[in-house]
Amino acid sequence: MVSVAVTVQQTARPAPAKEVVSCSGRQTYHDDMAKILYTEAVISQRVAELGRQIAQDYQGKAPLVLGVLKGSFMFFSDLVRAIEPCPRGLTLDFIRASSYGSGTESTGEVKLKADLKLEKVEGRHVLLVEDIVDTALTITTVSRYLLEECGAASVATATLLDKHERRKLVYRPEYVGFLCPNEFVVGYGLDFNEEYRTIPYIGVLKPECYSHLGIEAPEPDGSGESSDE
Ligand code: IMP
């Protein structure tokens, strides 16, 4: 078991209350959506395109496709099936990343957990699969860990969403599903307070879905409470 903790600067996020209450009596997650940004059909078409491109680029490279949990779980499972024709030697694994912001302090932490055996990574061409690259603190931490600590031959990133306007570190993912507007989004693996991960499209919540937790709706700058661990 490999476990590393890396402390990086990160904008503080408001801490939600612990209680889980339904959103103003609405019955389903679908009722909580203010708008849908990417439908199931649009996502599916784009994932198929990315899969074909990745298959071409990794022929003969026996890639290690590494999902960054939890947010990438849905994108990961769709993407790996779309990597066709599948390069020989392709294998899968997962790494768990969690970021914490506390109260009003401007310090955050990116923690990585993986039971990756180092020999599984050493010399391999690693393709990281992320749900969203936002500030890029998480993906930068994971990439550095794989290259510097695990001896990966190369590290590239496939992210479904790229919220490029919010970068704190310079990072350009090699494969991007969609350039995401500056909004806090949920669905297709992405959560708010652990909810909404299972809905099959990506949308933006109604403001009242935040107020029952005693917090403000995230500003359009995208900050919000996402518990990716
Ligand atoms: P980072 O800021 O690039 O390090 O992103 C860290 C993590 O925050 C991502 O992997 C997501 O899980 C989460 N995240 C960032 N933006 C959003 C969002 O709009 N909705 C849900 N989760 C998000």
Using one digit for the tens of pLDDT, what is the confidence trace for 105-139?
Answer: 234 578 888 777 667 899 999 999 999 999 999 99
pTM of the model: 0.85
- Mean pLDDT of all residues in the chain? 84
Residue type at position 13: R
Do residues 146 and 47 make contact, with C-beta atoms less than 8 angstroms apart? no
pLDDT tens digits, 155-200 = 999 999 999 998 999 999 999 999 999 999 999 999 998 999 999 9
CA 229 from centre of chain = 10
Pocket test for ligand 1, best of 66, 190, 227, 229 (most atoms within 8 A of CB): 190
d(CA 225, CA 217): 10
Q: Which of 32, 78, 134, 162 is catalytic?
A: 134
